[in-house]
């Protein structure tokens, strides 16, 4: 029994999720390979982190009270939302057409959520199926085929490398540095396979539209390699943002529409032009995913990564940066893999296409920088072990099972899709519908991201984990966005936020500390606004998500102001008082983040106004709000202690 519990603790450890969480980004990864240790020795940095942690509170009287509240509140939360998902509820007929037969306990299932960057509502002829989220619905329906691909792709690579290794062996013997030679040979083999498999993969996915994808990739490559160096960043960003808008507005450039622009759609006799008919015929070969432009947004990020990594590599001398730093190329730290540029010869068209179209990460990420991709293809990351990948796969399957249970027993998604009469719900029911809507958003993003990362792990590539914490385990707006879509956040920091200046705003020689701090915060807020405007537009070109981005920026203001008014160093002598103050502020943060995300991904502005009016328009609603805030305060205190427990282990996730 003890061994089973120990295994489950390992299963849900940060080490299983991503070794980046337990090792400093500056630490070479040889230590990570020691996968069998149950309690890895702390390095100096980890000891320094642990020394600042507070004593544990898990067994204090305060936390025993919290445990009792948890035992009462959490089951009530599930009970409340399950009750409104029963056939006996008055609103059931309004959304029953959005349900389809399920496979758990005779329950019907909501097959997908309504919260999608692009969506089309499709009503089935069966007793209701919510197919409004084309992305997750497609993923869920095709899980068996995706699992087959996850197995077949790495097996094909191993077969290819088995026959290709003997060809490369003779060339490696002529090189003086055996390690470098082996890395070069491995890079060449893996990139060749990625290149040819990617071409087949996108033709299967997009049919003749693969030509459009390759055309965009070609232009972006020429921007990096052909333009004068000083123009590369500006033209790269201009071109890719223009493509982002053009793909959306032109809906993927159908050949029929292009033909209609070149010739008259019909002649004087009313006959359609042969060119238009030919364009329509070509459009019929759209592959598995004819709407290629929907998921091309992730490819745009990789295009920018290649161009900017190449641009920054030109600042380095001709000699190898790795040799100059005297680093072990087989065990580079994660930061070195990202920051140290690839060899100049690596910035070629084959590597570019292999990276941008890398099959496991092509559709949804996680996002890997070009430098990191080349480094991992040259030398296998030591963080990848069979036991870690196995635990990650088990964790993924348990997450899918959790999503299935939620979709079978909690119809929050279908209810919000049906736009019901909110007055038929109590304030508690309304709040739980919104709360579980957010969790389904989280799960419907988490599951595809974890699947594609698992595919990459099995293939020998270790991309960043996108979701660090459960959506319920967040209280800070800043920290929330570090943990949500983490690889995109890291991409934003590297390619947008830092080039904008980040949060640095103090000029040299400025001795007015208070004014410089205010200027720094103002600069940080301005950059935050730019970043979230880009993030919202990248997700989708609609006003609702743009309002979401601006709401997020607006809602970080209280957190920034609170940190200025209540700096932590002034409360060191009263840590418990400061913890209570932070808990009160965190409750407000959580409420604002819930509102912003419900506006952006669920109900829209009108929907959230209706929900809030019903919740706050009565005395019972206000009483419920006060009770909910008290429960959130308890949850926040537990969140604080979880992070303190991580600090005691020498881990600081900063989220």
Q: What is the pLDDT of residues 564-622, one digit of tens each?
A: 888 888 888 888 999 999 999 999 988 887 877 777 655 666 667 777 777 777 788 88
Determine the Cα–Cα distance for residues 25 and 333; give it in Å rounded to an integer. 6
Last residue of a domain, one of 343, 378, 413: 378
DSSP state letter for 319: S
226 shares its domain with 196: yes
Q: Which residues of 73-165 form beta strands (DSSP E)? A: 100-101, 108-109
Q: What is the mean pLDDT of residues 133-153?
A: 81
Q: Does the pLDDT at position 102 exceed 90?
A: no
Which element (helix H / strand E) includes 210? helix 210-226
pLDDT at residue 624, rounded to an integer: 87
Determine the Cα–Cα distance for residues 406 and 409; give it in Å rounded to an integer. 5
pLDDT at residue 455, rounded to an integer: 96
Helix runs in 250-385, H state only: 255-262, 274-283, 296-313, 321-325, 334-339, 349-356, 359-362, 370-378
Q: What is the mean pLDDT of residues 266-288?
A: 81
Q: Does the pLDDT at position 376 exceed 90?
A: yes
Q: Model's pTM, two decimal places?
A: 0.87
Q: Does the pLDDT at position 270 exceed 70?
A: no
325 shares its domain with 401: no
Tell me if residue 7 falls in helix, strand or coil: helix
Q: Say if 403 falls within a structural domain.
A: yes
Backbone conformation region of residue 198, classed left if phi is above 0, alpha if psi is from -120 to 50, else beta: alpha
pLDDT at residue 557, rounded to an integer: 79
Of all residues in the chain, the percent with pLDDT exceeding 90 is 38
Q: What is the pLDDT of residues 239-254, one digit of tens each?
A: 999 999 899 888 889 9
Q: What is the pLDDT of residues 62-85, one digit of tens each?
A: 999 999 999 999 999 999 999 999
Q: Taking each helix axis as running N to C, give the angle between helix 143-172 and helix 178-206, from 0 to 180 degrees, rounded to the nearest 10.
A: 150
Half-sphere exposure of 425 (CA within 13 A, CB side): 30
pLDDT at residue 30, rounded to an integer: 61
331 shares its domain with 422: no
Q: Which residues contact 130 (CB under 8 A, 6 or more apart)?
A: 98, 99, 100, 110, 111, 112, 113, 114, 413, 414, 417
Query: Which of the pair, 89 or 521, is modelled with greater confidence?
Result: 89
pLDDT at residue 261, rounded to an integer: 84
pLDDT at residue 545, rounded to an integer: 64
Query: Which of the pair, 111 or 329, is modelled with greater confidence?
Result: 329
406 shares its domain with 305: no
Confidence class for position 332, pLDDT limits 50, 70, 90: confident
Confidence class for position 406, pLDDT limits 50, 70, 90: very high
Tell me if residue 108 falls in helix, strand or coil: strand
Contact 492, 528 (CB under 8 A): no
Determine the Cα–Cα distance for residues 599 and 596; give it in Å rounded to an integer. 5
Q: What is the mean pLDDT of residues 455-473?
A: 93
Terminal C-alpha separation, the chain: 33
Query: Which of the pair, 600 or 224, is modelled with greater confidence?
Result: 224
Residue in 492, 487, 485, 451 with CA at minimum distance from that of residue 469: 485
pLDDT-wise least confident of 321-330, 340-349, 403-412, 566-575: 321-330
Q: Which residues contact 524 (CB under 8 A, 6 or more apart)?
A: 502, 503, 505, 560
Q: Which residues of 322-478 form beta strands (DSSP E)? A: none
Confidence class for position 135, pLDDT limits 50, 70, 90: low
pLDDT-wise least confident of 35-44, 96-105, 136-145: 35-44
Using alpha carbons, list the distances in angstroms from residue 512 to 260, 505, 506, 509, 515.
64, 13, 10, 9, 6
Q: What is the mean pLDDT of residues 172-190?
A: 75
Segment of 34-43, 323-332, 454-463 carrying the highest mean pLDDT:
454-463
Q: Which of 162, 439, 539, 569 is catalytic?
A: 539
Q: Say if 124 falls within a structural domain.
A: no
Confidence class for position 172, pLDDT limits 50, 70, 90: very low
Q: Does the pLDDT at position 130 exceed 50?
A: no
Q: Say if 274 falls within a structural domain.
A: no
224-250 as b/e: b if 16+ CB within 10 A: beeeeeeebbeebbebbeebbeebbee
Confidence class for position 236, pLDDT limits 50, 70, 90: very high
Residue in 293, 297, 339, 344 with CA at minimum distance from that of residue 319: 344
pLDDT at residue 117, rounded to an integer: 34
pLDDT at residue 459, rounded to an integer: 95
612 shares its domain with 481: yes
Tell me if residue 246 falls in helix, strand or coil: helix
Q: What is the mean pLDDT of residues 182-202?
A: 93
420 shares its domain with 341: no
Using alpha carbons, list the distances in angstroms from residue 3 to 8, 10, 392.
9, 10, 18
Q: Say if 227 falls within a structural domain.
A: yes
Contact 428, 80 (CB under 8 A): yes
Q: What is the pLDDT of residues 43-57, one digit of tens each?
A: 677 788 888 888 999
Last residue of a domain, one of 334, 355, 378: 378
Q: What is the mean pLDDT of residues 627-631?
A: 93
Q: What is the pLDDT of residues 20-45, one digit of tens each?
A: 888 776 666 665 555 444 445 556 77
Q: Say if 275 falls within a structural domain.
A: no
Q: Which residues contact 383 (CB under 8 A, 6 or more apart)?
A: 19, 20, 29, 32, 33, 462
Residue 533 has a CB neighbour count (10 Å cut-off) of 14
Q: Does the pLDDT at position 136 exceed 90?
A: no
Quick one: CA dihedral 478, 481, 486, 489, positive or negative?
negative
402 shares its domain with 337: no
- Domain of 397 in residue numbering reads as 61-87+390-648
161 shares its domain with 295: yes
Omega before residue 366 within 30° of 0, cis = yes
- Domain tally for the chain? 2
360 shares its domain with 437: no
Q: What is the pLDDT of residues 493-541, one digit of tens each?
A: 999 988 887 766 544 444 555 556 677 777 777 887 788 778 877 877 6
DSSP state letter for 101: E
pLDDT at residue 604, rounded to an integer: 66
pLDDT at residue 507, rounded to an integer: 44
Residue 539 bears catalytic tag:
yes
429 shares its domain with 561: yes
pLDDT at residue 198, rounded to an integer: 96
234 shares its domain with 367: yes
Determine the Cα–Cα distance for residues 208 and 579; give it in Å rounded to an integer. 59
Q: Say if 54 falls within a structural domain.
A: no
Q: Does the pLDDT at position 155 exceed 70?
A: yes
Q: Which residues contact 301 (CB under 8 A, 6 or more apart)?
A: 365, 367, 488, 491
Confidence class for position 268, pLDDT limits 50, 70, 90: low
311 shares its domain with 228: yes
Contact 204, 287 (CB under 8 A): yes
Contact 438, 594 (CB under 8 A): yes
pLDDT at residue 601, rounded to an integer: 57
Q: What is the mean pLDDT of residues 76-104?
A: 90
Confidence class for position 403, pLDDT limits 50, 70, 90: very high
Q: Say if 4 falls within a structural domain.
A: no
Q: Which residues contact 260 (CB under 8 A, 6 or more apart)?
A: 273, 276, 279
Q: Say if 589 falls within a structural domain.
A: yes
Q: Does the pLDDT at position 304 exceed 70?
A: yes
Last residue of a domain, one of 378, 405, 427: 378
Q: Which residues contact 105 (CB under 8 A, 6 or more apart)?
A: 408
Q: What is the pLDDT of residues 419-447, one digit of tens each?
A: 778 778 888 888 888 889 888 888 988 99
pLDDT at residue 391, rounded to an integer: 95
Of all residues in the chain, the percent with pLDDT exceeding 70 is 82
Determine the Cα–Cα distance for residues 19 and 9; give it in Å rounded to an integer. 15
């Amino acid at each position: 029994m003890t061994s089973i519990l120990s295994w489950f603790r390992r299963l849900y450890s940060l080490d299983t999720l991503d070794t980046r969480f337990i090792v400093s980004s500056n630490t070479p990864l040889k230590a990570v390979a020691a996968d069998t240790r149950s309690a890895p020795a702390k390095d100096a940095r980890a000891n320094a982190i642990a020394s600042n942690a507070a004593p544990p509170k898990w067994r204090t009287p305060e936390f025993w009270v919290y445990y009792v509240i948890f035992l009462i509140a959490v089951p009530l939360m599930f009970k409340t939302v399950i009750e409104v998902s029963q056939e006996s509820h008055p609103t059931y007929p309004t959304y029953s057409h959005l349900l389809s037969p399920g496979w758990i306990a005779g329950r019907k299932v909501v097959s997908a959520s309504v919260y999608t960057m692009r969506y089309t509502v499709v009503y089935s002829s069966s007793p209701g199926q919510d197919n409004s989220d084309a992305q997750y619905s497609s993923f869920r329906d095709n899980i068996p085929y995706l699992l087959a691909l996850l197995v077949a792709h790495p097996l094909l690579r191993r077969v290819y490398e088995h026959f290709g290794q003997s060809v490369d062996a003779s060339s490696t013997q002529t090189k003086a540095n055996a390690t470098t030679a082996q890395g070069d040979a491995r890079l060449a083999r893996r990139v060749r396979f990625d290149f040819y498999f990617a071409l087949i993969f996108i033709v299967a996915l997009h049919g003749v539209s693969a030509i459009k994808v390759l055309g965009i990739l070609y232009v972006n490559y020429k921007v990096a390699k052909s333009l004068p160096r000083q123009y590369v960043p500006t033209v790269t960003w201009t071109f890719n943002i223009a493509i982002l808008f053009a793909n959306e507005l032109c809906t993927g450039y159908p050949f029929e529409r292009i033909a209609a622009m070149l010739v008259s759609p019909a002649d004087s006799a009313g006959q359609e032009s042969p060119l238009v008919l030919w364009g329509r015929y070509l459009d019929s070969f759209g592959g598995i995913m004819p709407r290629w432009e929907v998921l091309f947004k992730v490819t745009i990020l990789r295009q920018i990564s290649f161009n900017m990594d190449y641009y920054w590599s030109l600042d380095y001398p001709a000699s190898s940066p790795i040799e100059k730093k005297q680093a072990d190329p087989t065990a580079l730290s994660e930061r070195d893999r990202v920051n140290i540029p690839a060899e100049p010869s690596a910035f070629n068209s084959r590597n570019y296409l292999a990276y941008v179209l890398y099959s496991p990460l092509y559709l949804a990420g996680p996002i890997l920088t070009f430098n990191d991709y080349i480094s991992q293809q040259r030398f296998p990351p030591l963080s990848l072990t069979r036991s870690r990948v196995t635990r990650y796969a088990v964790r993924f399957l348990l997450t899918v099972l959790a999503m299935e249970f939620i979709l079978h027993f909690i119809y929050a998604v279908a209810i919000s899709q049906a736009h019901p009469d909110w007055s038929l719900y109590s304030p508690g029911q309304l709040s739980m519908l919104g709360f579980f809507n957010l969790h389904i958003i989280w799960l419907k993003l988490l599951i595809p991201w974890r699947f594609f990362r698992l595919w990459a792990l099995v293939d020998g590539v270790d991309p960043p984990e996108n979701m660090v914490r459960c959506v319920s385990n967040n209280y800070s707006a800043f920290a929330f966005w570090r943990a949500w879509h983490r690889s995109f956040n890291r991409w934003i920091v590297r390619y947008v936020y830092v080039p904008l200046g980040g949060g640095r705003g103090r000029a040299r020689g400025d001795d007015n500390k208070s004014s410089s701090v205010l200027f720094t915060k103002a600069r940080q807020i301005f950059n935050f606004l730019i970043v979230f405007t880009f993030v919202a537009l990248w997700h989708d070109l609609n006003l609702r998500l743009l309002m979401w981005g601006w709401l997020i920026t607006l809602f970080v203001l209280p957190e920034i102001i609170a940190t200025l008014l209540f700096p932590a160093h002034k409360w060191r002598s009263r840590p418990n008082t400061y913890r209570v103050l932070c808990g009160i502020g965190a409750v407000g943060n959580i409420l604002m983040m819930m509102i912003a995300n419900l506006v952006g991904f669920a109900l829209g502005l009108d929907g959230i106004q209706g929900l809030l009016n019903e919740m706050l328009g009565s005395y019972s609603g206000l009483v419920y709000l006060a009770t909910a805030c008290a429960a959130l305060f308890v949850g926040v205190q537990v969140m604080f202690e979880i992070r303190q427990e991580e600090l005691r282990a020498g881990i600081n996730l900063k989220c």
